[in-house]
Structure 1
Amino acid sequence: MHSAHATVRSEKAGRYLVQLCKHFAHKIPATWEETEGEDTKGHADFGIGTCDMTARDGALLLACNAPDEDGLGKVKYVLEDHIVRFGWKEELKVDWQDGTPAGA
């Protein structure tokens, strides 16, 4: 299994997570759970790989997995493309790191 993670800093992280999941849900299985006073969590299954998303403390945390490098690259590309477009006013940046995040 190949994996990568990223942290995208934004005070609107929860809003972006919900927007991403709602958008993806038109074409793929995507779910989210909004909880008051707690983290907002989401999951998207692209078929070629998945991404778990968490909005916490002014950041959108992404954890992606795929069975091969090609699938992981495609999942990362789709997520980054949408995040940059949705957050263009904030000039959001996605800095991918290989592997799973520490403590996961």
Structure 2
Amino acid sequence: MPQSTARFATEAADRYLVQLTRHFAHRIPTAQQGRSGTCTFDMGTATLRADDTGLDIRIDSDAAEGLAQVRQTVESHLLRFAFREDPQPLHWS
């Protein structure tokens, strides 16, 4: 199963975790508990983990195309929510 990970360095990781899961909950199944959350898209799943220095994002999908779609969706929303931090594009591995 294709997988991709990225880290967004920020002291506001908890806030962005909650903001992302709540935002996506209007259209897809999400779950958030403590410093972890998931967003289950049709084409893949984003797993989010916050700590004091950043937000870790892992994307899992059955296909490379789905992986790219979920990655782009999560990244674009995160960068929009974090606009005050002048965020840069994420480095995915």
Shorter-chain TM-score: which interval? over 0.9
* Equivalent residue, structure 2, for 1:56: 51
Q: Tell me the number of residue pairs that the alignment of Structure 1 and Structure 2 aligns.
A: 92
Task: Identify unmatched segments of 5+ residues in structure 2.
Answer: none
* Equivalent residue, structure 2, for 1:102: none
* Equivalent residue, structure 2, for 1:18: 18
Distance (Å, rounded) in 2 between the aligned partners of 1:28 and 1:78: 13
C-alpha displacement at 1:57, in angstroms?
2.5
* Equivalent residue, structure 2, for 1:101: none
**TM-score under structure 2 normalisation?**
0.95
Does 1:89 pair with 2:84?
yes
RMSD: 0.7
The farther-off stretch of 17-26 and 88-97 is 88-97
Distance (Å, rounded) in 2 between the aligned partners of 1:84 and 1:4: 17
**TM-score under structure 1 normalisation?**
0.86
Aligned identity (percent) is: 35
Q: Which amino acid aligns with 1:20?
A: L
Task: Identify unmatched segments of 5+ residues in structure 1.
Answer: 35-39, 98-104
* Equivalent residue, structure 2, for 1:78: 73
After TM superposition, what 4+ stretches of structure 1 lie above 3 angstroms from structure 2?
none
